Every structure is written in C-alpha cells, then in structure tokens.
Structure 1
Amino acid sequence: MINNSKHQSKNHPLFGGTGGGLLTVVGAGPGNVDLMTIKGIKALQSANVVLYDALVDANLLMYAPQAEHIFVGKRKGCYRYQQEQINELIVQRASQGLHVVRLKGGDPFVFGRGAEEMEYAAQHRLEVAVVPGISSATSVPALQHIPVTKRGASESFWVITGTTKEHKLSKDVAFAAQSSATVIILMGMSKLSEIMALFKKQGKSETPVAIIQEGSTENEKIGVGTVASIEKEVEEKQLSNPAIIVIGEVVRHREKIRNLTGLKAKM
C-alpha cells in the first residue's frame, strides 16, 4: 500500500498525471467483491480519497486502507449528499493534488453519473480517468444462467432505465415492447405494473420474465414468471429494489439448464 501523505496524482502508477489532482471513476461491478476488476483494485490502492455509493460492497474499501472514505450514496430515496455536493467534494479534494476515486456500482457509464462527474472535474482543469466495471445489466442475469442474447431466441438486447430523472417511466420501454429483443430494465420495480401493461398491449402476456434482486450478493433473490404472472410472483417472493427485470425468451434458458444438469438455481 502507498503512503497517502506522500502520494500525489503526478506519481500515479496507472494513469500518469500533470502534477494536479486526479479523479478516477471506477466501476465496482454488480455487488460481489470478486467481480471487481484488477485495474479497479489498483486504482483503490493508489487513492487518497474514496467516494462510494450505496450499492458498493464496503469490503472493497479494504483495498484503500489509508484513504479517506466518504459515503455519498442514497438509500430508499434518502441522500447523504446531493449530486452538486458530490461534485464539489471531488473538486475540493482533487484540487489539493490528491487522487480521488469515485467508486460506483456496476459500470459507471451505464445509468451512473460517472460521465457527469468526470465532465465537472475536467471543467475545473483536473485530470480524469475511468475504470469500467462489470455491468449488472448483463452479469446479474448471466449468474442466473440467463443470457441476454441467444441464437434462435434473441438477436439483440435493450437496457433501459425504468425511471427517468422526472420519475416517469422511460418512453423507450414502449418501443422495446414491440421488438423481439431481450429487454433489461434497471430501477424499474416501482413501475412494474406499467411495464407489464405495455408488454400485454403487444400480445406478450406469455413472454417469460425474471426479476433478480440484489444480484451476485449473498442476499440475492429471484422470481420467474411471465408478463401475466410476474406481479403475483413479486408479491409472493417479496421482491423489491435493487432489482433487475429481464423480459424475453432467453429467460427459458435458465430452466433448460436446470433440467439438463439437475442444477438447483438460487430462488
């Protein structure tokens, strides 16, 4: 581990530097610490400050034991910091010549605000870098043996936010419901009824659906059904956020693998 009192971004072993501060936006993956990238761990090891979100496993902070750890996430709509305050924290710390790691769940460029934070830092003439993370949109279904594409079943996939910044259902869901693609919806549990209604309108009541809560973690839960039945399944399994909704024929692959191998998938 480095000595934080001596480390400045100009000595950064991974990203180089110009002598000023550095912001590195790092994707922590879907939740399980084993799914963090090696490059992400190296960024943490060289950090002076780590700003981390609610969906990040705090055990990852052990890779930055000498850094200042600041929780900036939100839980159930409660914000520790507003986004503007997070931006200012980044600039404040990095302007001291420090390496600031912004640790975000999943991939920071997939429905994260990593791009916005990098832009804000760059506007303040700070050096910026990004370490991609494993996106929950594809990895969480994969861990449940659900491929997002499969020959003969799905040639493409949509990844859509269920709730826009105006707290409304994304209009893209209606377009996705008309396609034959796999549809993956993040942050959509509060809009589940509206989402299923759009698919029913397209005559897809029997299309398979899987909902995976807290995927890749020890608290993972899954409910599998159809467009017509999934709301009842959610009620019975008491599924809630954070969860991923997967709609499409690829969901059948999970049951097929279980039947072929005798695998008892986590329910």
Structure 2
Amino acid sequence: MVCALGAAVCFGTATVLQAIAARAAAGGGGGEAALLLRALRQWRYLAGLALDGLGFLLQIAALRSIPIYAVGAWLASSLAVTAVVAARLLRVRLSRVEWGAVAVVCAGLAMLGLASGTEGEEPGPDWLSYAMLGVAVGVLVLGVVGGRLPERGRALVLGLGAGFGFGVVEVAVRLIDDLDPGALFGNPATYALLLGGGAAFLSLTSALQRGSVTAATAGMVIGETIGPAVVGVVWLGDRTREGLAWLAVAGFVVAVAGALGLARFGEVTSGDEAVERAGVSG
C-alpha cells in the first residue's frame, strides 16, 4: 500500500510540475518539438520525468505485493494528488464539489486499505499472456481508428484505449515471474507490457491534444481500473480479507467515482488559461 501511495503521489505531482514547465516554455514560438526542447531545459519538467520514473518503479513493487484492484484504485487517485498540488502551486481554485471528490477518493482508498488481502499466488492460465499481447495490439488499432472519429467521441474512445493499455501493463507485471533475460524474451507478457505501455501513451497524448480532457481522462480511469481488477480476481487469485469483500468492492467503486469527479485534472488549468501538459503519466 505504501508503494501504491507513493506511485500516486509521484504521478500526481509530476503532472503539475510538467504543466508549470510547459507553460514557461510556451512563449518561445515554434512547433511541438520546439516546445518539448524548451521544456526539457526546465528543471521542473526534468523533475516531473524523474517522478514518473520513480512512480513506475513503485507501481511495479505495489503490483508484486497487493491485488491489482487496489493498485488500480490508487493510481486513479493520482488525480486527487494533482488537484491538491495544483491548488497550491498553480493557484487553481477547487470547487466544493471537487474538494468533496478528493475526500471521497480518500474515503474509498481507506476502505480498500482495510479490506485488501495479499497479492494472489495463482500464475494465471497459459493463454492469458497471449491475450494481453492481443489487447495491446488492439489498443494500437483503436488508437488509429479512434483518431479518425468525430471530435465528440474521439477523446473518450482514445482515453478508453489508453486505459486498456495501462491495464495491460498492470496485468503483464504480474505475469512476469522470471527476470532471466532468456525467460523475458520468451514471455509474451514482456512484449504486452512494452507494446501496451507505448500504445497507451500515444493514445492518451492524442486524446489530450485533440479532444475533451475530461472525457479522455474519464475513459482512461475506467479502462485502467475495471478490466485489470476483474482479471486479478478471476484468474490471478486476488482476494480480500475474510468477510470484507463487500468493503473492498465499495471502496473500489467510491475511489474510482471520486477520481472521475476530478477528471478535468488530467490536464491542469489555471484560471481561464489552459496549461499544456507536456508529459503524461499512467
């Protein structure tokens, strides 16, 4: 749980730091490549990248210790971290409803913490690694098709695709048991992890650039939480503490619902001025 909390804090804080750096770099003209190069000269952007890397390592550690459903809810809660940090550093005003959503996320996570058991010990069926690789390929295809949809539905479809891709990463981490190079190269889950993560990043970046941030982030939260949670319970042996399954389900639903209420913080805004998000964490 400590690792999952650390990952959420890292991802949520990185978003704000990258947003500040992107805003500072936006005044120099040029295209997106020039913007990225200027952002890379900002210490806040580099710090955000470092936090993203640390968050990913903490995410892996959490996935090797606690059920996927708990990790997914914690990662979704990074939006609450972004909202609170943005209120402090970017002076973004949170409405009462949004402060309430932050409190709801915290309450849901507390319920999950009380009810969560240990990581399941079942290796999963042999076909599951290949299924994850197939889903990762599907996310790539969905990204191509979704980018051609009308603007109204484009962001939601691309956001869902990104969520599915990040969900593949969560499951694939659990399916990789042997870190020997030969075993890694021969395990379809390794390729599912790399392809799913890359496809998710591309889909979410496209969604944030070309559609509604709220719709894209909401789709991502749904995609990266529900599917992996089901896989963990059905095929990987994730369980709750004895007699507390109801509390885990309630906590999961409450935490994800609260995160959806904060979906606009998938891209931080300050007043009426949009703040470009130059980096994406999943």
TM-score between the two structures when normalised by the length of structure 2: 0.24
User: Going by fraction, where is helix more abundant, 1 or 2?
Assistant: 2
Q: Which structure's relative contact order is higher, taking Cα pairs within 8 Å and 6+ residues apart?
A: 2
User: Going by fraction, where is strand more abundant, 1 or 2?
Assistant: 1
TM-score between the two structures when normalised by the length of structure 1: 0.24
Greater gyration radius: 1
